[in-house]
Amino acid sequence: MKTQLLTVFVLACSLVAGSANTRAAEDQAAFQAVELSPDLLELLRAEMREIADGVQGIALSLATADWESIHQTSSKIRASYIMEKKLTPAQAAELEKVLPERFKRLDAEFHQRAESLGVAAAAHDSELVAFQYSRLIESCARCHSEFAGKRFPGFDSRAPQGHQH
């Protein structure tokens, strides 16, 4: 029973992660109220693509108990922290000036959760990995709802919803 619940959970999370990876909309702005230079915006988009690919791969790795893959992927996600990337001094100054503190906190939380996921994978604890994975996805959704509403309009509570009971 426990294994079946875990499998259902992993599949549900992978569907959420997969639907968030709509590359057809990449030409839309990454943030609602943040203006980034084109080179910095492309760097951020590339990072988001890497993270999306990694997050999707974690779901399969969890379903197959590939702890090493989860650990490696979570380490890569954690290390991709945009504020730690090798940016030019001008790009670093731009990020510091333009990115809201709330975005910086959410980003730091996301990368901390990636680290927690790696620790759980190193312990081969499938329940804790599933929990940490769900928290990682939750971080994605929270940030996207606050800063990428144009790209992901489903987060807009004012947007027309489908059939409701």
Domain housing 108: 2-18+34-153
DSSP 32: S
Mean pLDDT of 14-37: 48
Model confidence over 53-88: pLDDT tens digits?
999 999 999 999 999 999 999 999 988 766 666 678
Q: Is residue 61 part of a domain?
A: yes
Q: Is residue 44 part of a domain?
A: yes
- Tell me what percent of the residues of the chain surpass a pLDDT of 90: 42
User: For residue 120, what pLDDT is reported?
Assistant: 98
Model confidence over 89-101: pLDDT tens digits?
888 888 889 989 9
Please state the pTM of the whole predicted model. Answer: 0.72
Q: Is residue 64 part of a domain?
A: yes
Residue 163 has pLDDT above 70, yes or no: no
Q: Is residue 27 part of a domain?
A: no
Strand blocks (E) in 104-146: none
Q: Is residue 24 part of a domain?
A: no
- Do residues 50 and 80 make contact, with C-beta atoms less than 8 angstroms apart? yes
Q: Is residue 111 part of a domain?
A: yes
Q: What are the residues whose beta carbons fall under 8 Å from the beta carbon of 85, sequence distance 6 or more?
A: 43, 47
Mean pLDDT of 125-137: 97
Instruction: Return the amino acid letter for 51.
Output: I
Q: Residues 45, 47, 51, 52: what is their CA dihedral angle, to the nearest 10 degrees?
A: 20
Please report, for the domain that includes residue 137, its CATH number: 1.20.120.10
- Indicate the number of domains in the chain: 1
Q: Is residue 23 part of a domain?
A: no
The single residue listed with the structure tokens 């259902």 is 8
- Do residues 143 and 76 make contact, with C-beta atoms less than 8 angstroms apart? no
Q: What are the residues whose beta carbons fall under 8 Å from the beta carbon of 98, sequence distance 6 or more?
A: 34, 35, 36
Q: Is residue 164 part of a domain?
A: no
DSSP 164: -
Compute the mean pLDDT over every residue in the chain, rounded to the nearest whole number. 79
